[in-house]
Chains A and B, each alone.
Chain A
Amino acid sequence: MASSPMEKRRLKQAGSMSDPLWYKDAIIYELHVRAFADSNNDGIGDFPGLLTKLDYLQDLGVTCIWLLPFFPSPLRDDGYDIQDYIGVNPSYGTLDDFKAFLEAAHDRGLQVMIELVINHTSDQHPWFQAARLAPPGSSERDFYVWSDTDQKYSDARIIFTDTEKSNWTWDPVAKAYYWHRFFSHQPDLNYDHPRVIEEVIKVMRHWLDMGVDGLRIDAIPYLVEREGTTCENLPETHAVMKRIRAEIDAEYGSRLILAEANQWPTDVRPYFGDGDECHMAFHFPLMPRIYMALRQEDRLPITDIMAQTPDIPDNCQWGLFLRNHDELTLEMVTDDERDYMYLAYSADPRMRINIGIRRRLAPLVDNNRRRIELLNSLLFSFPGTPIIYYGDEIGMGDNIYLGDRNGVRTPMQWSGDRNAGFSRANPARLYSPVVMDPVWGYEAINVEAQQSDQSSLLNWMRNMIALRKLFRVFGRGSLKFLNPANRKILAYIREFEGEQVLCVANLSRFAQPVQLDLPGLECKIPVEMLGYVEFPPITSQPYPLTLGPYGFLWLELRPAPEKEVPAEPIDGTSLHVSGLADWEGLLDGENASRIEAEILPEYIQRQRWYGGKSRKIKDTKIIDWGTCAAEQFALALVEVSYSAGAPDTYLLPLATTSGGDMDNLRAHSSGAILTLLNLPSGLGVLHDGIFDDRCCKALLSMMEQSSEIPTRNGVIRGLRSSILESLEGPQPELLQARRGSAEQSNTSIFFSDRLIMKLFRRQQAGPNPDTEIGKYLTEFTTFAHTAPFGGAIEYRAHELTGAITPASDADRTQTFAMLQGLVSNEGDGWQWTLEELDRYYEACAHSVMPASAAFREQVAREHAGIYLDAAAVLGRRTGELHLALARPSSNEAFSPVVFTPEDFQSLGKDLVDHAAISFDLLKESLSQLPDDVVESAGLVLSRRRIIFDRLRQLGALDVRTLKTRVHGDYHLGQVLRVRSDFVILDFEGEPARTLAERRAKQSPLKDVAGMLRSFTYAAFAALMKYTSRRPEDYEQLEPWARLWDEAVGAEFLRAYRETVAGSDVVPEEPQAFQKMLDGYVLDKALYELTYELNNRPAWVGIPIKGILSLSE
């Protein structure tokens, strides 16, 4: 039965691509029909001419052609002033010519994207001509935005500052002002009038029905106007875009909307909606920062803007470009950055226009081939779809003597023939003169010459494009920046579905060394992607590379090939077992005795997670064990006794293997092997279970299924959180296990990029506070700025044995493992802060410290503005954490309690006791201190009584405040920088303290004090590092360090207090608040003093300075 017209309408029209996400893998080529190829020799490029060049584009490897406006137009703004939306400018051909071009492009596998300029029309458009004649209030009139005054919407900026003085222009015919955000001959359409959107949708259908694959929506932010706003990015504008998208989704398949929104990434983000507005948007702020990073030879401009780039929905994509048909826009940079860019890239004022620089890529970088290649390597390897501007693939130049932005819109240079092979017309007839100077002229730079030159830029571009297309990771993968000490090196890892690529770029004009920390990538083989050259394998040591001037490397990280390891003869050192799953044979009886006496002491001693390295192991004993995953693996508790002191207990997952897996383990992870096994079938090994991915998955599975396994003396239980399913994602079976490399006391196992499991090696009685608090925050509070809790594995002994002596029955439960959602981040807060401080000191090195305090504050904001904002965010998050932990709870471990006078007395006493220990140690160590701190240390000792008195005063406090569970070891290293925010981690408390102490309720001000001291530490640690290169700057910069510390601390505290205001989390009364806080800060500084005296005497000056400052 034939379908009705209505039914037909419902069927989606397929695009030329079947993959709806095709744009993620695309290489877009932007061109103007007028400038590309002239077939009829009238001096203007046309569609038949373009058609003849499709083979060239196919050969270049681009996959999508973006056509600049080709519609009938007076061409007063290069076609962006449209007179007829559904026609073709006769100069460029006919509609049939367009259709023939479209079909030919599709035949070659090329997609086509056209412009949808819907913010405004030409003043010659029939709609406008009708509007100015129509009476006010009529439908025709309301197609545009009219006013009797030019004062409406006065908060909207003027964009074309060089030519326009107002966004309103008087129309003598209509006798009213009309609104235009761009040129006065481009009146803005009025989207408050329902007919406008209907007409726009008709236009859209006209082209999509024809088979056009994509629409670039011009000037999106300005569609709607509202009084009292900047008339940019309004909710009503988003409503228009959602409507357009809904029309496309309903009727068309595999089409694309690309948004032109020259805004900050956070403002562009809403144009993706929930994946229901635009598929793509340009990343405008990145482009100038790439040029800035290149000129400054510093990666920070790039990493900073990428850090400010929010996540976008999975079906969306950024559009990346180095240059386009407009000026190199400098709207999305600070004033200082703009000045720098003008100085760096536009020596001649003629190169500037509006707020930008009107130059092509090659002239911008002084025609340096290496720079061009470096910039393109970034373009092709950054997350997004690269867009190439026509002619940039051959390094075309520009003509700054032409008006407006026409200097970058000259005819394509095809050959050294007449008119650059673009047209056979009389040169005077050309729409624009071809570039003719000796360096950039078509005789020197043209396609034909470069096609025959194997080493040309054109061939280089073609190879790079082909290479990029081989790896979907570039278009679809995640991005993680590395932080090598050498800031001239930009290094990042792209990852997608198991494919990993390491990109390293040298932004400097000189060769640069770099050492890359690549945790988790040990044993991977980097394969240089251009030449398929294998580099040495990655080890646990920093990976050294040297890059030539402007050099770059794309390294595919491949797993090491399996090596054939000769089987070892079975000798007396191996244990005899009946099979790989013969755990009883291994862990009970004679074999167990050998394992305990000979194997474990040696094995444990060499493990990174072993905490008693300075203690001599006397004995080990397997105190309990059980098997999981159908007896494939075992979980064992091993008690380690020492010659002196209390024993420890460690968790040991165990696995056995033979054959190829064994060979692989022996080749790459021999440290994980406990012993050889003598099996009936041959040789096997007993090894740490986490080196078997199946064992890792079995642990995960225990949580997923909340399963329970009996052990010899207890039970092991898996626990799952209510959000585990969402953390695992849609295909948990595909999660790939890998072991973390930065192992310390715990062992980390990653499951793809979604989950991290921490195995608590050293076991203590009672619930692990990290697990306990993580679970509480996830399951019982709304606090979202922590790693979400996914599950745990707990152990409960039937009888009390061994070293673990629980204080209560509840403490009989121990935590083996905790699972959390993996938070993608830009590094920990400490590292990020040090980098920011490095910039701060660089900026302050030659600045004069203002005398007035008010002015100092202003200067601090100027130099450390980003960090001040970050400190406020951190203060807010800290407050929110404390509020969450202070909620009334039926769980006794979390229910807050009110500070009693006895609590205050006890607090004062404890702090004095701590201080006494620190002072005694300082006195003992005085003779060994560095010369430059001896005097200050003496001063600290002289203040012993003052400090004791101050701490004792805390005992006399009588104020209402709460004791709650707290972080307990709060500092910058315990937070992650995530976009423009922070995530708080690691609630384990201070590792040196007992579990009971770590779980005790305390004043949240302990955390606040910890973070304030961390700021101070960062300020001076960064200063020490900075001035190690320039010692002469220390005197100059120390006041700046203090200023930063004060300003950042004040901002953190302000935001914190605002957040907790009205609660009893901390004392409301300012004096009591300050007194308590000072006490905790002093206590922390004294704790640091003890730590540094014991571990890092060179750093002892930092806490000493702090104590002096706090005791003044």
Chain B
Amino acid sequence: MANLEAAQETRPSGDTAGSADVLIGVPAPTQGTLLHERVADIRDEFRSTHPSIRCVVAYPGIEGTGELSTLSEPAGELGSLRAVEYTLSHGAASTVPWLGLAPAYARLADLAIQMGAGACAILSPDLAAFDVHSITLLLEPLMDGRAELTMPLYAPSKFEGLLNSGILYPLSRALYGRRVRYPLGPDFGVTTSLLTRLGRRRARGTEVEDDQAAIWPATEAALSDSIVAQVHLDGRHGAQNEGLDLPTVLGLLVGSIFNDAERNPVVWQRVRGSQAGLTLGATVDRIDPGAKSAGALDVRSMLEAFNLGSRNLQQVWALVLPPVTLLEIKRLGRLTPEQFRIPDALWARIIYDFALAYRLRTLSRTHLLGALTPLYLGWVASYAQEIANLDAFAAEQRVEKLAKVYEDEKPYFVSRWRWPDRFNP
């Protein structure tokens, strides 16, 4: 077990009631019984592994039953783990995973400041990463000054998190130059000062309500030039977007990252290449049930959606994409499902062109992101077929290759952004 010791000089003078060294924050309502069980489960382990650390778990109210007050320990006692409830203003709690977390981050940052905690671990409300090992991994680099933000490195199945692999990760990496595999979390460790910044984030001019925008810790770290480390986590989250249709998720998450790009061109246009940063913890080995089963993902419906889009959305795509890209898409439509592959460079340029159209408001942003959905499904079909016979490691290498192509194609994006003349190749 890694050591998680608070430097003596960072502690507030005197162990006042309510003080803590670290804060574990749950930014959205969670299941009460689950939280009850988890806190009880890890209290003893926490006390034995971190006898000098005072830790507070802050949660925004509880759904269902469960009484946490019995789990609290005397304030200020070392090796303690206790829970406090915080309130969010009416309507501030997010109804969609990933989104609208700024008010919760702000509240958690306030709590951390009040308690004198310098580092915070923000955990997904499903509490999949609520274990001493994960918490230690997330917090340790913050407390020893090696990082100001720790982001998770999960070990999901190769078919999981494809939106992240195909757009969010490579785009975020190319724009801000930080290789953060899961730039949105949901679990991450953060210094209190950086968490305060996250809490202040408001997405002006976005199509979604300000408070419903996605907050990207990795982006914020890049903007504030904070040091980022990645830690291998064993937590396995369930489907985050359950109940939401793909166009909605695309619209919210891709729209959110496009929106950030619109707000920060001064930063990302100066970034070239990317930095790997520090990676901590042991790689999590997991048997991937889908690893060798070719065709585990049925791509036929995706290709149908792509082809339908090709037929119906030509005019919309023509407003966004240059002729050479349109021609490539047209050629793709003539391929058999087995032959269907979207080249990485083409895919990266498509995303860049959509980001530009988003900025220029070439058409309604909702319609624009809706028009991206069939293209994305085409990419998923192409990618899924390509990695069908690869193991998880090789699939991960494939994502890295795509991310590198995003970086290589970035000058195309910058040039189009700066001089968005439609008379281009």
> Which residues of A are at the interface with B, using a C-beta cutoff of 8 A?
109, 454-455, 463, 466-467, 469-472, 529-533, 558, 561
Contacts and interface: CB of A to CB of B under 8 A. Distances in A.
A463 B273 contact: no
B107 to A, nearest CB: 23
Nearest to A107: B204
Nearest to B412: A532
B330 interface: no
A463 B411 contact: no
Given A454-B421, A463-B418, A532 B273 contact: no
Contact of A531 (B204, B269, B419, B423): B419
A470 B273 contact: no
B420 A463 contact: yes
B213 to A, nearest CB: 17
Contacts of A532: 411, 414-415, 418
A561 B273 contact: yes
A729 B419 CA distance: 38
B423 A454 contact: yes
B97 to A, nearest CB: 31
A101 B272 CA distance: 41
A533 B272 CA distance: 14
Interface string B395-425: 0000000000000000100110011111100
B423 to A, nearest CB: 6
Given A532-B411, A561-B272, A455 B418 contact: no
B421 A466 contact: no
22 contacts: A109-B204, A454-B422, A455-B423, A463-B418, A463-B419, A463-B420, A466-B418, A467-B418, A470-B265, A470-B266, A470-B269, A470-B418, A471-B266, A472-B266, A529-B418, A530-B418, A530-B419, A531-B418, A531-B419, A532-B418, A558-B272, A561-B272
Contacts of A467: 418
A799 to B, nearest CB: 49
A530 B421 CA distance: 11
A533 B418 CA distance: 11
Contacts of B422: 454
A531 B420 contact: no
Interface string B263-277: 001100100110000
B409 to A, nearest CB: 12
Interface residues of B, number: 15
Given A463-B418, A470-B269, A529-B418, 15 more contacts: A454-B422, A454-B423, A455-B421, A466-B418, A467-B418, A469-B266, A470-B265, A470-B266, A472-B266, A531-B419, A532-B411, A532-B414, A532-B418, A561-B272, A561-B273
A1090 B265 CA distance: 61
Nearest to A531: B415
A134 to B, nearest CB: 54
A623 B111 CA distance: 65
A454 B420 CA distance: 9
Nearest to B269: A470
A617 B317 CA distance: 72
B410 to A, nearest CB: 9
A912 B273 CA distance: 69
A663 to B, nearest CB: 15
Contacts of B420: 463
A463 B265 CA distance: 14
A1053 to B, nearest CB: 54
Which of A455, A470, A530, A558 has most B Cβ within 10 Å?
Answer: A470
Nearest to B416: A532
Given A454-B423, A561-B272, A561-B273, A533 B415 contact: yes
A747 B419 CA distance: 42
Nearest to A59: B361
Contacts of A529: 418
A558 B273 CA distance: 13
A467 B418 CA distance: 6
A1027 B188 CA distance: 74
Contacts of A463: 418-420
Interface string B249-275: 000000000000000011001001100
A667 B422 CA distance: 39
A340 to B, nearest CB: 36
A225 B266 CA distance: 48
Contacts of A531: 415, 418-419
A466 B415 CA distance: 13
A547 B421 CA distance: 22
A466 B422 CA distance: 17
A531 B419 CA distance: 6
A525 to B, nearest CB: 10
A504 to B, nearest CB: 18
Nearest to A459: B421
A329 B420 CA distance: 37
A16 to B, nearest CB: 13
Nearest to B360: A59
The 8 closest A-B pairs by CB, nearest first: A532-B415, A532-B414, A531-B415, A530-B419, A454-B422, A532-B411, A470-B266, A467-B418
Nearest to A109: B204
A226 B419 CA distance: 55
A107 B311 CA distance: 40
Which of A454, A529, A532 has most B Cβ within 10 Å?
Answer: A532
Nearest to A463: B419
B415 to A, nearest CB: 4
A532 B410 CA distance: 10
A994 B146 CA distance: 56
A780 B272 CA distance: 50
Contacts of A109: 204
A967 B272 CA distance: 49
Contacts of B415: 531-533
A531 B423 CA distance: 13
Contacts of B418: 463, 466-467, 470, 529-532
Nearest to A559: B272
Interface in B188-219: 204
Nearest to B204: A109
Contacts of A470: 265-266, 269, 418
A466 B417 CA distance: 9
A471 B267 CA distance: 10
Contacts of A561: 272-273
A470 B265 CA distance: 7
A637 B414 CA distance: 50
Nearest to B267: A470
Interface in B297-313: none
